[in-house]
A and B are shown apart, each in its own frame.
Chain A
Amino acid sequence: MGKMIYLDNAATTRTAPEVVDAMLPFFSEFYGNASTVYEFGGKSKEAISKAREIIARAIGAKENEIYFTAGGSESDNWALKATAEACKGKGNHIITSKIEHHAVLHTCQWLEQHGFEVTYLDVDEFGTVKLEELKKAIRPTTILISIMFANNEIGTIEPIEEIGKIAKEHGILFHTDAVQAFGQVPIDVDRMGIDMMSASGHKLNGPKGIGFLYIRKGVKIRSFIHGGAQERKRRAGTENVPGIVGLGKATELAIANMEERTARERELRDRLISRMLKEVPFTRVNGHRENRLPNNANFCFQFVEGESLLIMLDMKGICGSSGSACTSGSLDPSHVLLAIGLPHEIAHGSLRLTLGADTTEQDIDDTVDAVKEIVAQLREMSPLYEDYMKKA
Chain B
Amino acid sequence: MYSEKVMDHFKNPRNMGEIENASGVGTVGNAKCGDIMRIFLDIDDDGIIKDVKFKTFGCGAAVATSSMATELVKGKNIQEALQVTNKAVMEALDGLPPVKVHCSLLAEEAIHAALWDYAEKKGIRIEGLEKPKNDISEEEEEEDY
Contacts and interface: CB of A to CB of B under 8 A. Distances in A.
Contacts of A177: none
A381 B34 contact: no
Contacts of B58: 305, 308, 326
A345 interface: yes
Given A307-B60, A308-B58, A311-B10, A386 B18 contact: yes
A331 B34 contact: yes
Interface string A303-329: 111011001000100000000111001
B55 A307 contact: no
Nearest to B37: A383
Most B CB within 10 A of own CB, among A303, A332, A383, A386: A383
Contacts of A305: 34-35, 57-59, 62
A275 interface: no
B56 A381 contact: yes
Interface residues of B, number: 26
B34 A308 contact: no
Interface string B81-111: 0000000000000000001100000000000
Interface in B38-64: 38, 55-63
A52 B36 CA distance: 52
A235 interface: no
Interface stretch (B25-33, B113-121, B125-133): B25-33
Interface in A206-262: none
Contact of B59 (A303, A326, A384): A326
Contacts of B75: none
A317 to B, nearest CB: 15
B38 A383 contact: yes
Contacts of A102: none
A324 B11 contact: no
Nearest to A345: B31
A383 B55 CA distance: 5
B108 to A, nearest CB: 17
B56 A382 contact: yes
A90 interface: no
Contacts of A325: 33-34
A384 B36 contact: yes
Nearest to B1: A311
Contacts of A331: 32-34
A308 B32 contact: no
- Kindly list the 6 A-B residue pairs having the minimum CB-CB distance in the complex, ordered from nearest: A345-B31, A326-B59, A307-B59, A383-B38, A344-B32, A383-B55
Interface of B: 7, 10-11, 13, 16, 18, 27, 31-38, 55-63, 99-100
